[in-house]
């Protein structure tokens, strides 16, 4: 099997082969929490099989595969990236809650405990974050429609 094109997604969990991951995926991986970041960067940069990554991390191979798959899905989703692009529209607390929710997959209750706020406040923040993300998506779609007409 050959090397993939630079911007082509090789898929998560496929058998080991030489990969060329896009730079944006590596940059997004930097936003993950420490344990997940280490696993994903090993996967992206070295492209080694899960068995080697599991041995290096001292974890079960199935655990490593599952965590990498979930992280890659969260990174390719782009919700948190939309929040970062629009950070001027969010408070520091809202941005932190978005990070906890989208990157760390924390529940509303866990975020409330971590941030020392009520679950009501977390839900309010997530509603605001969702509004910002939806506006970003609409803006991108509008931009694509305009570029198609040109």
Structural domains in the chain, sorted by start: 23-77 (1.10.10), 79-149 (1.10.10.10)
Q: Residue 30: CB partners within 8 Å, gap ≥ 6?
A: 37
Per-residue pLDDT of 27-67, as tens digits, reads 888 888 888 899 998 888 877 789 989 998 899 999 999 99
Q: Residue 1: CB partners within 8 Å, gap ≥ 6?
A: 17, 18
Per-residue pLDDT of 115-148, as tens digits, reads 999 999 999 999 999 999 999 888 888 776 666 6
Neighbours of 87 (CB within 10 A): 13
**Looking at residue 148, what is its pLDDT?**
60
């Amino acid at each position: 099997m050959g090397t993939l094109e630079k911007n082509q997604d090789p898929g998560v969990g496929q058998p080991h082969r030489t990969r060329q991951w896009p730079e944006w995926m590596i940059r997004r991986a930097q936003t993950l929490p420490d344990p997940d970041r280490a696993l994903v960067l090993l996967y992206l940069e070295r492209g080694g099989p899960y068995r080697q990554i599991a041995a290096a991390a001292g974890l079960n191979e199935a655990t490593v595969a599952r965590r990498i798959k979930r992280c890659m899905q969260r990174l390719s989703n782009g919700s948190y990236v939309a929040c970062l692009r629009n950070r001027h529209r969010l408070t520091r607390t809202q941005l932190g809650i978005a990070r906890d929710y989208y990157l760390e997959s924390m529940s509303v209750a866990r975020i409330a405990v971590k941030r020392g706020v009520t679950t009501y406040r977390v839900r309010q923040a997530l509603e605001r974050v969702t509004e910002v993300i939806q506006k970003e998506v609409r803006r991108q779609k509008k931009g694509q429609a305009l570029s198609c007409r040109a």
